[in-house]
């Protein structure tokens, strides 16, 4: 499984709605009608931090992900990009 | 594994989505909302007689208050049905209100009102999804069930939507023994119009039990359907309709659980909340949105919903090797065919349901009857509705017929495969 480039800026797709749940979160994409879920509250914090963080790595750090766990979160984010839940952010500042 | 960083090591607590959902969510994922009993058609298969909208139907303000609650609860979308929802004078107002408040709207229609202009309007709104009902790929098969000309009407609606640039709208088919041989044709039809095919299960809800006896797929067709679904995977939506078929082998895409009161529910035109659109009976009535506490209170506090979220015992199914994915099938199907709720589904692929059905008394007196005063039988009135149409209503709300108006909340949704 490939990870996404943690040193780029990412964001939730604008048509994705995020609903926090005790186990993590539910995500619904209004464009693809896909439902998915995050099984982990920290991943939710990462996803929520994406919009304002300069890079995905910074979003992970802000959410308290340590270096050892970084690759796993990278993979989880990559999975979210495959279903278009997470998209690369325009790099124009 | 989707979106989960838990690849290295077991997760704390439950890890299968279905196990988390079994205990229910703070809010439904989506729900079905029947806005009105009125309809612009008098479909024979709807088994309704002419009538008018119920005077107690939620007002525009009350409907908006429900939408506010759904927004606060972050319900992703509502399936709006009826009747024919578009005959409510405030339908478009409510649709715009919901989508402006981040509650997506999916509505089912026979297509009669999907003019090129309406199609363009719908295509512009990302938060609206449309579902065209068709029960036969050919006019011959479809019109026998849905009435003369209804195939042509549905196809015209699909063309209008496609021409307006709307993609991914749904072609919605209730699987019967007459259309299972047409699965490939349905798929081709959907593909040609840039639509997505969704197949759902014919459920013997209410009075539909009699229709069900004649129309539900034969055992060998169930196998055919299962193989077809496995072969087509995620390209065809089923909204978890067929999890009882999982007992043939590999689980189908979806949650594979009865979502009634756990992840879905129904709000009817007068605001009554039921566990599932196929379970309209006092037994599954959880409350009313007009009471203090509103819809949120019903969803979170109702005794019925709490009990549905308790771990269920498998009953006669507990020893079945397929219980894990089949879960004994559909609660409503069992209820309305008079089978015990903790036993096998009437369409159990192992044949246990059939054996139980065969043992039922010949007359249907034992089957659940309409209860309460939901039907509100009144003298039909004409020309009083908000629009100039022949209004029809179901004469008998507690045993709704099986028709295109019955909509499973999850039907249009691409569900995660469990364990993803
Ligand atoms: S009662 Fe049947 S139709 Fe309703 S949610 Fe359960 S399985 Fe689905
Ligand atoms: S016995 Fe019960 S669990 Fe097993 S296949 Fe039949 S309905 Fe499903």
Spatial distance between the Cα atoms of B149 and A16, rounded to a whole number of angstroms: 39
Place of tokens 């297509």: B111
Cross-chain Cβ contact B17/A26 below 8 Å: no
Which ranges of B193-266 would DSSP assign to H, the alpha helix? Answer: 208-215, 219-232
Query: Is residue B66 within 8 Å of B295, Cβ to Cβ?
Result: yes
Nearest CA to B127 among B102, B90, B154?
B102
Other beta carbons within 10 Å of A42: 17
Report the distance separating Cα B138 and Cα B155, nearest Å: 10
> pLDDT of B348-398, one tens digit each?
999 999 999 888 877 777 777 543 333 333 333 333 333 333 333 333 333
In a 3-state reduction of DSSP, which class is residue B44? helix
Predicted confidence (pLDDT) per residue in B92-149, tens digit: 899 999 999 999 999 888 888 899 999 999 999 889 999 998 999 999 998 887 778 8
Ligand 2 contacts CB of residue B345 (under 6 A)? yes
pLDDT at A39: 83
Burial class (CB in 10 A: 0-12, 13-18, 19+), B307: exposed
Q: How far apart are CA B163 and CA B33, in angstroms?
A: 29
Handedness of CA B173, B176, B178, B184 (dihedral sign): positive
> For B28-54, what is the mean pLDDT?
66
Q: Which residue of B1, B3, B25 to mutate against A (max A Cβ within 10 Å)?
A: B3
Name the B residues in 99-158 with CB < 8 Å from any A CB.
102, 104, 126-127, 129
Give dist(CA B79, CA B70) in Å, integer: 12
Per-residue pLDDT at B148:
84
Q: How far is residue B415's CA from residue B89's CA, in Å, rounded to a whole number?
A: 34
Question: Is the pTM here over 0.90, yes or no?
Answer: no
Q: Which residue does chain A place closest to B20, by CA atoms?
A: A23
Measured CA to CA, the distance from residue B303 to residue B297 in angstroms comes to: 11
* B358 at A interface, C-beta within 8 A: no
Asked whether the beta carbons of residue B2 and residue A80 sit closer than 8 angstroms, the reply is yes
Whole-number pLDDT of residue A7: 94
- Residue B237 DSSP label: B
Q: Quick check: A75 pLDDT over 80?
A: yes
Predicted complex ipTM exceeds 0.90:
no
Q: CB contact, 8 Å: B29 with chain A?
A: yes
B259 close to ligand 1 (CB < 6 Angstrom): yes
Query: Helix/strand/coil (H, E, C) string of B333-350?
Result: HHHHCCCCCCCCCCCCCC
- Name the most confidently modeled range: B79-88, B184-193, B258-267: B184-193
Helices and strands (DSSP H and E) totals, chain B: 14, 11
The rounded distance, in Å, linking the Cα atoms of B182 and B180 is: 5
Query: Model confidence over B206-237: pLDDT tens digits?
Result: 556 667 888 899 999 999 999 999 999 888 98
Q: Are B234 and B253 in contact (CB under 8 A)?
A: yes
**Which B residues in the span 153-182 are in contact with A, Cβ-Cβ below 8 Å?**
168
Q: Ligand 1: does its nearest atom lie under 6 Å from the Cβ of B278?
A: yes
């Amino acid at each position: 499984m490939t990870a996404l480039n943690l040193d780029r800026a990412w964001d939730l797709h604008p048509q994705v709605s995020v609903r926090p749940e005790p186990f993590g979160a539910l995500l619904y994409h209004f464009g693809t009608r896909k439902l998915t879920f995050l099984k982990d509250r920290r991943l939710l914090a990462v996803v929520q931090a994406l919009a304002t963080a300069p890079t995905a790595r910074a979003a992970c750090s802000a959410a308290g992900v340590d270096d050892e766990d970084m690759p796993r979160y990278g993979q989880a984010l990559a999975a979210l990009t495959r279903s278009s839940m997470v998209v690369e952010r325009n790099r124009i500042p | 594994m989707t979106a989960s960083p838990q690849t290295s090591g077991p997760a704390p607590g439950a890890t299968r989505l279905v196990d988390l959902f079994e205990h229910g969510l703070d809010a439904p994922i989506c729900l079905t909302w029947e806005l009105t009993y009125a309809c612009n058609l008098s479909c024979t298969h709807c088994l309704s007689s002419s009538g008018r909208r119920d005077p107690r139907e939620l007002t525009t303000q009350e409907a908006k208050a429900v939408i506010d609650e759904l927004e606060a609860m972050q319900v992703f979308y509502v399936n709006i049905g009826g009747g024919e929802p578009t005959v409510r004078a405030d339908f478009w107002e409510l649709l715009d209100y919901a989508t402006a408040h981040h509650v997506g709207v999916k509505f089912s229609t026979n297509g009669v009102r999907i003019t090129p202009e309406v199609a363009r309007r719908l295509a512009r709104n990302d938060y609206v999804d449309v579902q065209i009902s068709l029960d036969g790929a050919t006019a011959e098969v479809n019109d026998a069930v849905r009435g003369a000309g209804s195939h042509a009407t549905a196809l015209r609606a699909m063309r209008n939507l496609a021409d307006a640039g709307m993609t991914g709208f749904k072609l919605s088919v209730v699987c019967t023994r007459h259309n299972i041989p047409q699965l490939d044709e349905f798929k081709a039809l959907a593909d040609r119009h840039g639509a997505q095919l969704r197949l759902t299960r014919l459920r013997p809800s209410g009075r539909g039990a009699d229709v069900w006896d004649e129309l539900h797929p034969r055992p060998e067709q169930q196998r055919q359907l299962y193989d077809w679904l496995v072969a087509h995977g995620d390209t065809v939506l089923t909204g978890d309709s067929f999890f009882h078929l999982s007992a043939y082998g590999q689980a189908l895409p979806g949650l594979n659980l009865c979502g009634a009161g756990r992840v879905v529910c129904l709000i009817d035109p007068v605001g009554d909340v039921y566990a599932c659109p196929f379970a309209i009976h006092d037994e599954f009535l959880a409350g009313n949105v007009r009471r203090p506490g509103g819809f949120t209170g019903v969803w979170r506090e109702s005794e019925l919903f709490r009990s549905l979220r308790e771990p269920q015992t498998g009953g006669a199914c507990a020893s079945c090797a397929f219980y894990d994915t089949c879960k004994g099938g559909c609660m409503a199907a069992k209820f309305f065919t008079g089978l015990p709720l903790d036993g096998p589904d009437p369409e159990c692929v192992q044949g246990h349901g059939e054996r139980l059905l065969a043992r039922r008394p010949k007359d249907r007196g034992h089957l659940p009857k309409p209860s309460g005063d939901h039907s509100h039988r009144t003298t039909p009135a004409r020309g009083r509705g908000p629009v100039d149409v022949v209004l029809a209503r179901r004469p008998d709300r507690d045993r709704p017929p099986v028709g295109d108006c019955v909509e499973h909340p999850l039907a249009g949704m691409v569900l995660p495969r469990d364990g993803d």
